[in-house]
A and B are shown apart, each in its own frame.
Chain A
Amino acid sequence: MNPKLKLLYGILVLIALLLPFQDFIYLVFAMKVLCFALFACAFNLLLGFTGLLSFGHAAFFGTSAYITAYLCKESGLSPEVGIILGVLGSGALGYLIGSLAIRRQGIYFAMVTLALSQMVYFLAVQLPFTGGEDGIQGVPRGMLFGLIDLKDDVAMYYFVLSVFLLGFALIMRTVHSPFGQVLKAIRENEPRAISLGYDVDRFKLISFVISAALSGLAGSMKSLVFQLATLTDVHWHMSGEVVLMTLLGGMGTILGPVVGAGIVVGLQNYLANIGSWSTIATGFIFVICVLAFRRGVVGEIAHLFKNKH
């Protein structure tokens, strides 16, 4: 990696580590950003690096959130076990939805994932243990490894931060591995990748499952941070939001989704007071991004630097 980039990552991690020692940024807000940043990074693995637009990623985010919330609340499992089972659940769901969806390409792929995730939404409304409209509330954060009490926001923050960094590192590792190169080849020119002898469908499916499992990880963390899992987590608006985060930050860039998540979550926090305007604003940002700056914030900056040198 470029030494300047290394320095940048170092500084960012340092800032993240020092966050609990200040009064300007509310820690729960920072945790929310981290959860959605992980979600967006996982989504970007699929859209930005494999070229597959899934419009149903809320299904994985939400499923895992429900599983973790249910297990931690009703079965009294410890948070780490709840998270692992949630991730396994969303990974398995990712395998199911993925193996159906990769049979179609492009816009069809997007529509199929959207429709299948809507099926998950219906299940979340109707199944007996999801709490219907209310969702699962009052989920205990529990004791991590039986040692660390996560009720404390600072402890919870460091836990969320370490999970985020772990997920982020895993995505970076995937992208820069030979496997990641094949994914990029599929994104750029699928027929050529096929003619080179790669089993394209298998690569797509693996990438889909990794992305689903990591989205699930983000959903599990979110359900612990806010101590609830609700229909919002599986609604298709959530799928749209994660697309927006990735698009706004810059799809196909490593840091883009993190920046995008920060901007979108920040906007929602500030626009929450004006109710339905937040939907309208989100819509406008979407339209402007698609029409005017398709590279996204990080993508445009990177482009600027590239042109200078």
Chain B
Amino acid sequence: MFELLGITPQGLVAQLLVGLINGSFYAILSLGLAIIFGLLNIINFSHGAQYTMGAFIAWIGLTQVGQWLGFPELSINYWFALILVPLVMAGFGLILERTMLRRLYHLDHLYGLLLTFGLALIIEGMFRHWYGISGESYPAPELLQGAIPLESIGIILPKYRLWVVVSSLVVCFSTWYVIERTKLGAYLRAGTENPKLLQAFGINVPLMISLAYAYGVGLAGFAGVLAAPIFQVNPLMGSNLIIVVFAVVVIGGMGSIMGSILTGLALGLVEGLTKVFYPEASGVVIFVIMAIVLLIRPAGLFGREK
């Protein structure tokens, strides 16, 4: 069958793996968007820029920070970055929410989108100003360099890519578990349904909202660190990705956490498959699917019609 289509099974598996990796990024970013949207009712347009920022901070930590501080031998390695960067980004998100986004909750949702769009331009512009658009490379950590040969099907699996898929799946599903299966998650869901009532029960809803935003931004930062060794760290990496993620969100429907994870992964795979069978269309296939889904189910695959 493969010979008939002119594609080797190795090629197919390789593209599916690439698709799965892209899908993991779509999933983790649209999950962050879904959480932020759920509680704040804001489409975080700066999500892509925050992902870029995560990747840049990791890169700066690895290569620059020692010189800045006067200890050239000091550098923050990948594993520290994986923990530190999401925390830094979450702190950044907390400040943004407290100083800016908070002022917009009583207004039309569109203002949130416009504000975060402005923030995205500022972040993107600053990295472009400092580092140009050529892109910096970030080596994968030693532990994850190299590949695992799978002789039975004749392909080699790069370790780092496998790690990206596994770790993002773990993060996505544990987030899903916390939100859907724990008491904290129950509060969060109640906060999206009826914040006033929840406040009457003595729960600090504004704090919860701040933390939810911080968590979402932290997720974007985490995705940025994961992406750094795969893609070039450059100022535009996020703005190109975020539009695809928006399409993923529209296809999946904003309401559901599981929906954003599954849609993200599935669309990554679809994109990978398109690259095998009809490479020219791989850039637009997600948007085509979006158009079809909108025609059939305007609320998205997992969304509820309001």
Contact = CB atoms under 8 A, between A and B. Distances in A.
B193 to A, nearest CB: 18
Given A119-B284, A122-B284, A277-B125, 15 more contacts: A53-B113, A103-B295, A107-B43, A112-B290, A115-B287, A116-B287, A118-B243, A123-B284, A243-B114, A280-B122, A282-B121, A283-B121, A284-B122, A286-B114, A286-B117
B115 A286 contact: yes
A289 B111 CA distance: 10
9 contacts: A106-B110, A110-B43, A112-B294, A118-B247, A276-B128, A278-B125, A280-B129, A287-B115, A291-B115
B39 interface: no
Interface residues of A, number: 40
Contacts of B126: 276, 280
A100 B289 CA distance: 12
Most A-side CB within 10 Å, residue of B37, B288, B290: B290
Contacts of A269: none
Q: For chain A, what secondary structure do more than half of its interface residues adopt (helix, strand, loop), or is it mixed?
A: helix
B121 A286 contact: yes
B250 interface: yes
Contacts of B115: 286-287, 290-291
A168 B254 CA distance: 38
Contacts of A285: 118
Interface residues of B, number: 40
Interface of B: 37, 43, 100, 103-104, 107, 109-111, 113-115, 117-126, 128-129, 243, 246-247, 249-250, 254, 280, 283-284, 287-288, 290-291, 294-295, 298
B98 to A, nearest CB: 13
A151 interface: no
Contacts of A111: 43, 246-247, 249-250
Interface of A: 53, 55, 100, 103-104, 106-108, 110-112, 114-116, 118-119, 122-123, 125-126, 236, 240, 243, 247, 275-280, 282-287, 289-291, 294
B291 to A, nearest CB: 6
B284 A236 contact: no
Contact of A287 (B118, B129, B246, B250): B118
